[in-house]
Chain A
Amino acid sequence: DTGVSQNPRHKITKRGQNVTFRCDPISEHNRLYWYRQTLGQGPEFLTYFQNEAQLEKSRLLSDRFSAERPKGSFSTLEIQRTEQGDSAMYLCASSPSGLVDNEQFFGPGTRLTVL
């Protein structure tokens, strides 16, 4: 399968713990996006990378959140000192760059439950 992959698929943690999620984009896609989705809502943008550069961050991304894409391939999203309000589905998407608008392809998501 050459689509976007995310690991783990599910994560249950206790409040105050740190968690890290991984996203592997479609090969050769140099744009990578993180979104968060809560029940009954559409995805909300968190942050965007072009290659290894983090070009945009939403104000939703508090200082407890950090994302990296060190070699311009896979990305990690870390949440420190988790809170119950962080419970959500975390979605990763990737797209190729270019002058023409391109589709964003989403991974299956990581569902986080903070107890």
Chain B
Amino acid sequence: SQQGEEDPQALSIQEGENATMNCSYKTSINNLQWYRQNSGRGLVHLILIRSNEREKHSGRLRVTLDTSKKSSSLLITASRAADTASYFCGRREGSARQLTFGSGTQLTVLP
């Protein structure tokens, strides 16, 4: 079964607005990786944040990590219609090499 959740399950915003998605988890992690998935496609890697990091940026993306609250957030600034996709956080937990995913957030950006 999948551990942790992305929140909200669905988010609809207007183009130009910011979108924030959250990811909570239950066990200690080594790193957390955010991915984007367009319908019917594979996952595109966005950002990796390690357990000793608190914030990372990449273009319009900002990821934060709070290990005390076991949560991470992905902020997309100045959203575009092309940002419409599902967003997943994958956690590398303990000594495992694989990632554990939640059910994702479906983001819709309206033009």
Contacts and interface: CB of A to CB of B under 8 A. Distances in A.
Given A91-B42, A101-B31, A108-B42, A45 B98 contact: yes
| Chain B at the A interface: SS class | strand
Given A101-B50, A103-B48, A40 B43 contact: no
Contact-size category for A: 20 to 34
A42 interface: yes
Contacts of B6: 42
Q: Is the interface of A mostly helix, strand, loop or mixed?
A: strand
**Residues of B in contact with A, size category:** 20 to 34
B97 A55 contact: yes
Interface string A101-115: 111111111010000
Given A106-B42, A107-B42, A111-B40, A42 B30 contact: no
Contact of B97 (A41, A56, A108): A56
Given A101-B92, A108-B42, A42 B101 contact: yes
B33 A44 contact: no
A89 to B, nearest CB: 8
B95 to A, nearest CB: 10
Interface of A: 4, 6, 31, 33, 35, 40-45, 48, 50, 55-56, 91, 93, 101-109, 111
